[in-house]
Amino acid sequence: MTAFRIFDSVADLIAGAERAIVQLVEKGTRSIALSGGLTPKPLYQSLGRNASIRQANITWVIVDERFVPIDDPQSNAGMIQQTLFASGMPPSHRFLRFHTELDDPAATARKFEREWQELAIDRLDLVLLGMGDDGHTASLFPGTPVLAVENRIASEVFVPRMNSWRVTLTKPVLRAAKMRFVLAEGAAKRPVIERVRSGSDDPIAQVTHLTETWWFVDREAVDSSEGSS
Ligand code: 6PG
């Protein structure tokens, strides 16, 4: 159920993830959730130029959002618009994002849930996840109450270590997806990957434990003696 794919470089990791996503889309994957952060930017740029992806019928869903306007450099939706949709969103695609312009985190999460119902998304086909050095994934940070939310699609959460609000898909929604890809690169991620592999309860472990999850990591993020893809 868990597969680790180790790549010699970040460029190889991104190319490997792109190939795997295109294969899933060619086999019928239609709903794909997208994380923010730095790691997936080159992947979204490539997917935005990929003919198989552009021709497919895809609903993209944002995994989480920092509570800033879409034109703020911190905005995940803004990053996705500038990468995946740099040459425009194809007419066969839809994009469900958090409307931070409502200026109210709780109302933003509720609006997202209404739009999710309108799009009739029952269960996501694929979720692309990242992971922080502290073991967070999406905006599920260690010790925050959102980790205990079981009856929502999305929720607002105040993150003390960032001193800011976030909005995020909830743990049960991330766990219910048919497939999860976790992208992690760099030596800073190595301790948390080691913890997860030895059974920790970091948020990324809570989201992936006993689910179908493929990890795409570079050699720096794991013990350098492990074999590569
Ligand atoms: C965000 C995220 C978050 C991210 C990790 C890893 O909005 O920040 O969606 O969960 O995936 O923090 O980020 P990096 O790819 O920048 O390491």
Residue 64 CA: nearest ligand 1 atom is 9
Output the CA angle 152-61-32, nearest 5 degrees.
Answer: 110
Structure confidence at residue 200 (pLDDT): 96
Ligand 1 centroid distance, CA of 35 (Å):
7
Mutate to test the pocket of ligand 1, among 35, 72, 97 (most ligand atoms within 8 A of CB): 35
Ligand 1 centroid distance, CA of 133 (Å):
10
Q: At what angle do helices 10-26 and 41-49 cross, to 10 degrees?
A: 50
Q: For each successive 10 residues of the chain (229 residues), what is the average pLDDT?
A: 94 98 98 98 98 98 98 98 97 98 98 98 97 98 98 98 97 98 98 96 98 98 73
pTM to 2 decimal places: 0.97
Ligand 1 centroid distance, CA of 37 (Å):
4
- Ligand 1 pocket residue status of 75, Cβ below 6 Å: no
| Spatial contact of 83 and 48, defined as CB atoms under 8 Å apart | yes
| Spatial contact of 228 and 219, defined as CB atoms under 8 Å apart | yes
Residues 6+ apart with CB under 8 A from 188: 133
Ligand 1 centroid distance, CA of 131 (Å):
6
Ligand 1 centroid distance, CA of 25 (Å):
24
Structure confidence at residue 190 (pLDDT): 97
Which amino acid residue places its CA nearest to atom 11 of ligand 1? 130
- Ligand 1 pocket residue status of 168, Cβ below 6 Å: no
Q: Where are the beta strands (DSSP E) in 164-210?
A: 164-169, 179-184
